[in-house]
Amino acid sequence: MNFLNAIHPLYSASGLVVGLLVGLTGVGGGSLMTPILILLFGIHPVTAVGTDLLYASATKMGGTAVHGFNRTIDWRVVGRLALGSVPMTALTLLALAELKISSGAAQVLVTKVLGVALFFTAMSLIFRKALMQLYARRVGELPRATVRNLTILTGAILGVLVSLSSVGAGAIGVTALVLLYPSMPITRIVGSDIAHAVPLTLVAGLGHWMLGSINWHLLGSLLVGSIPGIIIGSLLAPRMPEVGLRTILAIVLLLVCLRFWFL
């Protein structure tokens, strides 16, 4: 009964909606949940990011288990990404601790980085196909050593973005991997990206926990809604027009991004 009393129905409803979108499109977790928590519910930006990171790690574990069972994860790519992301996550959290999480400077930093991350997420949703075609014509296959180094660099960039905004591990990560590994099947790229998101969001989320920026009641309410939402969305995904959904999602993200830039 105490657990049921702690569940906030509006938070759970938000988790359900975001879970549906993640199940339908594969993206939209942090890029939608964190803005919802900040703009609709008035949650402090750093608390919203920290709570969403642990929320994301819990949901990505389920996705990783499924992809691992289906053998659609390239653990070499996951290791390269983590080699860049985990150290940069730790350094970013140390910088955030120096700013003091309740300070105005930390709030401004998080909201502005969130706006930038949302912008690049929206661009990757809209222009991924065109970018892939341009990249194939102008660049093509890269040397193996270059691919390895760029993968580690991609992980480092994601570590900073995700630690400060909880956004970027999905759409931006997948787009980068598609460009770096053009011959890899998309299911394997998605699986590898989801598997990498687990240590990334877990380390970042635990770091935010140590900083005191986790709302546990909020986290529980979100998971109650999002878990069935992801299941339903995944079942409906084959029947839905993915391109149209991604375009609508990108437009929403651009509008939210402008809101954060002009806060």
pLDDT digits (tens, 9 = 90+) for 171-215: 788 888 888 998 888 778 888 888 898 899 999 999 989 888 889
Average pLDDT over residues 21-32: 70
Contact 48/38 with Cβ under 8 angstroms? yes
Give residues with Cβ within 8 angstroms of 101, minimum separation 6. Answer: 46, 211, 212, 213
Average pLDDT over residues 112-126: 81
How far, in Å, CA of 66 to CA of 231, rounded? 12
**Is 1 or 82 the better-scoring residue by pLDDT?**
82
**Is 225 or 257 the better-scoring residue by pLDDT?**
225
DSSP string, 131-200: HHHHHHHHT-SPPHHHHHHHHHHHHHHHHHHHHHHS-STTHHHHHHHHHH-TTS-HHHHHHHHHHHHHHH
pLDDT higher than 80, residue 72:
yes
How far, in Å, CA of 196 to CA of 112, rounded? 25
pLDDT higher than 60, residue 4:
no
pLDDT higher than 90, residue 261:
no
- pLDDT score recorded for residue 78: 95
Q: CA torsion sign, 35 to 163 to 48 to 6?
A: positive
pLDDT higher than 90, residue 114:
no
pLDDT higher than 70, residue 26:
no
Averaged pLDDT score across all residues of the chain: 82
Average pLDDT over residues 241-251: 72
pLDDT higher than 70, residue 263:
no
The distance of Cα 81 from the centroid of its chain, to the nearest Å, equals 14
| Confidence class for position 231, pLDDT limits 50, 70, 90 | confident
**Is 210 or 110 the better-scoring residue by pLDDT?**
210
pLDDT higher than 50, residue 3:
no
- pLDDT score recorded for residue 1: 44
Place of tokens 């989320």: 205
pLDDT higher than 80, residue 29:
no
pLDDT higher than 70, residue 27:
no
**Is 153 or 9 the better-scoring residue by pLDDT?**
153
- pLDDT score recorded for residue 110: 80
- pLDDT score recorded for residue 200: 92
Average pLDDT over residues 235-249: 69
pLDDT higher than 80, residue 238:
no
| Confidence class for position 140, pLDDT limits 50, 70, 90 | low
- pLDDT score recorded for residue 240: 67
